Structure 1
Amino acid sequence: MTGQSSNASAAKPAKNRAPENNNHQGISAGDVEAYLRDHPDFFQDHLPLLDILRLPHPAGGAVSLLERQVTLLREKHRAMEQHMGELVERARDNERMGQHLHELAKTLMRAENLDAVLALTQDALRNELGAERVSIRLADREVDDLHALESSELSTFDPLFARGKAQCGRVPGEMLDVLFDSADGIGSAILMPLGDESDRIGVLGLASDSVDRFQPDMGTYFVTHIGDLLAESIRCHVERTQSAA
């Protein structure tokens, strides 16, 4: 009897021993992920699991899933606040630029002659855009040598007029040589055609010693509108001069 009792006792599985055929055998992490994606409300019916699940924390250690979610929400909130701040600042910049353009337009309308137009525009570009070097060259106009653009020099800017809009960043050295007498020391620049291919008034150029000041992907809203205002003001003064003659 004793032997039989021992055998029966040995046949019973140990209390803490896992069954040989576990239900979870053969289930991969992908299976679990797929199940949770198909059942997004799973944890609503198993809330205690949220307290025992542990996730690595960026600062080290481990936190519960709920704590990790709170951390992620805070990070998203900070990112949204930063993005909103950037949008607000950009809106303020645009408002300031719009005001500057408005003031420049009024100033150019009061300019007595072409020299005043050029001087006022250069001041605006230096003050509002912080340009270290500003050059305005006009073709076939009665201006001083500083602003004159010879016919032979005008052909240098054929690609710019064909482009029809401002060019930023690293621009061809021969263009800089014409506008600023030398490309030496210029790290980046903006060139703006004044007029179009059928009516080439001239070229507006801004340059900086820094290679990062004017980037190819930067906005050209302000300088484009200044170029348009300048070109139109030049036309008006030229027509006025011709009429007076």
Structure 2
Amino acid sequence: MTQAIDSQTVVQYLLEHPDFFEHHADILPELKLTSPVIGKAISLHERQIEVLRSRNKAQELKLSSLMHNARENRQLMDKILDWACRLMQYRHNDDMPRVVIDTLKATFNVPDANLRLWDTLPEHAQRWFAQPVDETIRQYANNMETPFCGRVTQQNHDIIQWLANPAGIRSAAIIVLSCNEAATPDGLLVLGSPDATRFQNAMATDFLSLIGKLASATLTDLFAAV
């Protein structure tokens, strides 16, 4: 009586004897596999070719995706450089927070943006960007490890109200501003869009963090030197 052999045993045997088909080449034409591409039986050689083509296609798609991401990253870096140059041009402006907002919107085509700063120098206490901020918002900023990016939530609802048309905002990015050496929050920058997909949870936040660092460096004169 012939003993049944399970498929794993066959696989293991072939792995341990890679020269099996070299010594038994005559059986290759007899081996038939069902092709998922054309839906009929084909030879082992033909199936190998299909597998290789499929792998090549997958590699091409992966390479195309990497190239696409690289182009997008390059475009973003160019925009950040452009924005940094604009900030330097206006660095002596009396209302740098407004410059940050306006140039940010123009450079990155952001529909709406605003910011709030706290604990600024006393002479700025009555200005628009230093309006009182609720303690819960400060705590929200203290708890942020990375910029927020996604749809409006109950937690950030009050921050969205800083924007010109908060009712129409469907997605937002919120970035901590730290204008001190200790890197503790001195404010928040909020970007908003009526497009629910403009800012998504799955998006990387590296570029948002870089925007926050540039904005923070631009606004340091509004705080007492440490």
Q: TM-score, normalised to structure 1's length?
A: 0.73
Unaligned 5+ runs, structure 2: none
Shift of 1:192: 0.3
CA contact 2:101–2:114 (8 Å) conserved in 1: no
CA contact 2:169–2:194 (8 Å) conserved in 1: yes
Q: Cα distance 1:157–1:75, how it changes in 2: closer, same or farther (>3 A)?
A: farther
| % same residue | 28
Shift of 1:127: 3.9
CA contact 2:160–2:190 (8 Å) conserved in 1: no
Query: Of 71, 76, 85, which residue of structure 1 is paired with 2:64?
Result: 85
CA contact 1:193–1:204 (8 Å) conserved in 2: yes
Secondary structure in 2 aligned to 1:180?
Answer: coil
* CA distance in 2 between partners of 1:47 and 1:201 (Å): 74
Q: Cα distance 1:220–1:71, how it changes in 2: closer, same or farther (>3 A)?
A: same
Secondary structure in 1 aligned to 2:176?
Answer: strand
Q: Which runs of 4+ in 1 moved over 6 A?
A: none
What residue in structure 2 maps to residue 42 of structure 1?
A: 20
Residues 1:167 and 2:167 aligned together: no
Unaligned 5+ runs, structure 1: 1-20
Query: Of 10, 20, 28, which residue of structure 1 is paired with 2:6?
Result: 28
Aligned residues: 215
Give the number of the structure whose alpha-carbon radius of gyration is greater.
Answer: 1
Q: Which segment is superposed worse, 168-177 or 74-83?
A: 168-177
What residue in structure 2 maps to residue 64 of structure 1?
A: 43
Residues 1:107 and 2:90 aligned together: no
Q: Cα distance 1:55–1:235, how it changes in 2: closer, same or farther (>3 A)?
A: same
Q: Which segment is superposed worse, 92-101 or 216-225?
A: 92-101
* CA distance in 2 between partners of 1:32 and 1:74 (Å): 26
**Which residues of 2 match residues 1-245 of structure 1 at below 5 A?**
24-59=2-37, 60-111=39-90, 112-115=92-95, 118-128=98-108, 130-139=109-118, 142=124, 144-145=127-128, 147-151=129-133, 153=134, 155-170=136-151, 171=153, 172-180=155-163, 184-195=167-178, 200-236=185-221, 238=222
* CA distance in 2 between partners of 1:92 and 1:114 (Å): 36
Shift of 1:205: 0.8
Q: Cα distance 1:220–1:118, how it changes in 2: closer, same or farther (>3 A)?
A: farther
Task: Note the aligned Cα RMSD (angstroms).
Answer: 3.0
CA contact 2:141–2:188 (8 Å) conserved in 1: no
CA contact 2:177–2:213 (8 Å) conserved in 1: yes
Shift of 1:226: 1.4
C-alpha deviations, 1:201-229, integer Å up to 9, x for none? 32111122343332223111222111111
CA contact 2:96–2:219 (8 Å) conserved in 1: no
Secondary structure in 1 aligned to 2:167?
Answer: coil
Shift of 1:44: 1.7
* CA distance in 2 between partners of 1:157 and 1:229 (Å): 21
Shift of 1:154: 5.4
